[in-house]
């Protein structure tokens, strides 16, 4: 990746993070009374006596949680697809730099038919 392309990629990531931060700030401003649900052993439960007995704590609902799970799964799948696309393009760019190879794939799959002139570049990983 050239320095210019890297700079563009960094700017895009920073821009996306700014948008995300702005969205979270907006949510924070509209929901100031957010708190936290218990997760593990050391979270000591808060028992409230209200109405007919124990309870009265509004739960972190299963529906919202599982929606978050589904969204995260989609994001993960998208990230994998994007990573695969980037890897494919990078591989194609590298293959196209091989000398004397009009069709580098055929040269790789059929080396005796298309000559064995190799590309001895120390490819960057």
Partner 1 sequence: MTESLSAGGPARTAPAALGLEHADEVARARALLVVRLAIGLYLVEVLLNLARPRIAPNEPSLTIFWQLPGELEQGPLESLGSLFAIPRAAFWLVLAGIAVGIVLQIIAVRRPPEGRQATVLTWATLATLVGSFALFSLVVLAGAPLIALACVPSSAFALWLVYRSQRFAWLPVPMLLTAFGWGALIQFGLGRAFTGLAYGTINGYLNKGMEGGLTARLGDSYRVLDYTLLHLSFVNQLAAAIGIVLLILMFRHRVTDVVTGLVIGAATGLGYNCSESVLFIQLWGILGTFNGATGGFEYWIRQSVALFGGQVAFGALVGAGIGLAAQARRRSQRVRIVVATLVAATGGAVATEVCAAWLSKMARDHVDIGSTLDTLVISPSLWIAPQVPFLVVCVLLLRSGLRVRLGAARTAVKNEAAADGGAITEREAPFLADPALRFWTVVSTWRRHGRPAALALRRLQRAQLELAGWRWQQQRAGADGTPNSEVEGEKLQGKVLELRAVMHRLVAS
- Binding-site ranges for partner 1 (CB under 8 A): 24, 27-28, 31-47, 54-55, 57-66, 68-69, 72-73, 76, 84, 87-88, 90-92, 94-95, 105, 107-111, 116, 118-123, 125
How far CA 107 is from CA of 5, 87, 99, 101, 115, in Å, comes to 30, 20, 11, 7, 7
CB of 69 to partner 1, least distance (A): 4
Number of H helices, E strands in the chain: 3, 2
Of 11 and 77, CB closest to partner 1: 77
Cα(8)–Cα(25) distance, integer angstroms: 26
CB of 96 to partner 1, least distance (A): 10
Of 11 and 70, CB closest to partner 1: 70
Of 11 and 106, CB closest to partner 1: 106
Q: Are the beta carbons of 85 and 78 closer than 8 angstroms? A: no
Of 3 and 62, CB closest to partner 1: 62
CB of 82 to partner 1, least distance (A): 14
Q: Are the beta carbons of 98 and 107 closer than 8 angstroms? A: yes
Cα(83)–Cα(107) distance, integer angstroms: 26
């Amino acid at each position: 990746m050239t320095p210019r392309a890297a700079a563009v990629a960094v700017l895009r990531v920073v821009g996306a993070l700014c948008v995300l931060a702005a969205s979270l700030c907006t949510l924070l401003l509209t929901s100031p009374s957010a708190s936290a649900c218990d997760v593990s052993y050391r979270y000591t439960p808060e028992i409230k006596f209200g109405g007919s007995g124990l309870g009265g704590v509004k739960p972190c609902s299963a529906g919202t949680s599982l929606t978050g799970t589904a969204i995260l799964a989609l994001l993960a799948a998208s990230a994998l697809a994007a990573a695969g696309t980037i890897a494919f393009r990078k591989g194609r760019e590298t293959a196209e730099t091989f000398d004397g190879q009009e069709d580098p794939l055929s040269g790789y799959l059929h080396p005796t038919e298309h000559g064995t002139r190799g590309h001895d570049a120390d490819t960057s990983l």
